[in-house]
Amino acid sequence: MSSERILSIYGPGLLGGSLALAIQERAPGVRLRFWARRESAEVAIRARGIAADFFTNAIDAAAGASLIILCTPVETMAEQAAQIAKAQLAADCIVTDVGSVKGRVVQELTPILGHRFIGSHPMAGSEKTGIEAARADLFQNAACLLTPVAETRLADLERLRSFWKTLGCRLLEFTPEEHDAKVARISHLPHMMAAVTTLAALRDDPAAVTCVAGGFRDTTRIAGGDPGLWTGIASANRQALLAQLKSARDRLNELLHFIENADDVGLHQFLTEAKALRDTVPPPGKS
């Protein structure tokens, strides 16, 4: 059970909304707050049955909170942290985030918030966006990657671990740099490859969409994600993503060689290795 008193969520989108729904279900004693840039966001929050105090002033939303979670695009987090730092913060206040990139976020937010900031990344998202798509069970059995640094206090880290466990997450811990390298492999690269597959298949023959079946839908689903969000992620994790895209280019060149040279033995080995590695991926909900 989470020990938090007041939880302030910055950004009422898919993740922020899912956090609020999960907390209402699993830790009903926690008082919820939401911050958003626009007053109109309150209507969507209320429509989801979320009982939370609502703010458009980032300083007021932070005052007295024991836990603050940034659920906004990574490129906006430093701006929000600067506002939070001006608030009358609780003595035990800690700040975390749900961003897909950690190196840049930790580098920018630690000088502003000091030991209070500890990076989090729950691996629980969707190509869908907005609080309308939020689910109370979004984090159940999801991996949550934490990125403590030298400034992190053990007591604060333990509280953050307890919080994510309350939502059903299983925890992994990395340095920010390790996090970004791993997530570039298993999250950012797949998104870009889904975009490449979609464009390669449909750009020159859009009418081919009438023929699609499960394979195309499965392999390109995440290409339906928000382009603005993913542009920001790619920019913030540019070097790690570049390394993985170059690796993907090398694998594609291997495949081209096998096809161009009618090397069925090489192609079979290529596909066999891919299948063996894919078979190591656990099903949803398993570690």
Say which CATH number the domain at 168 has.
3.40.50.720
pLDDT over 70 for what percent of the chain? 98
The predicted model gives 98-106 an average pLDDT of 95
Residue where a domain terminates, one of 125, 159, 174: 174
Q: Residues 99, 229: one domain?
A: no
Q: Has residue 157 been placed in a domain?
A: yes
Domain that holds residue 257: 179-278
- What is the model's pLDDT at position 1? 56
Instruction: Kindly list the distances between the CA atom of residue 167 and the CA atoms of 130, 131, 179, in Å, as whole numbers in the listed order.
Output: 20, 18, 21
Sign, CA dihedral 47-48-49-50, equals negative
Tens digits of per-residue pLDDT, 200-235? Answer: 999 999 999 999 999 999 999 999 988 998 999 999
Q: Has residue 143 been placed in a domain?
A: yes
CA distance 196 to 211: 18
Domain total in the chain: 2
Q: Has residue 254 been placed in a domain?
A: yes
pLDDT over 90 for what percent of the chain? 92
CA distance 18 to 12: 9
- What is the model's pLDDT at position 129? 80
Q: Has residue 287 been placed in a domain?
A: no
Instruction: Kindly list the distances between the CA atom of residue 28 and the CA atoms of 10, 11, 73, 145, 166, in Å, as whole numbers in the listed order.
Output: 19, 20, 27, 25, 12
Tens digits of per-residue pLDDT, 171-209? Answer: 999 999 999 999 999 999 999 999 999 999 999 999 999
Q: Residues 57, 25: one domain?
A: yes
Residue where a domain terminates, one of 123, 145, 174: 174
Q: Has residue 213 been placed in a domain?
A: yes
Q: Using only C-alpha atoms, what is the Rg of the chain?
A: 21
Sign, CA dihedral 111-161-69-146, equals positive
The predicted model gives 113-142 an average pLDDT of 91
- What is the model's pLDDT at position 282? 86
Q: Residues 31, 167: one domain?
A: yes
pTM score of the predicted model: 0.90
Q: Residues 58, 154: one domain?
A: yes
Which two structure tokens, joined as six digits, stand for 217? 């839908």
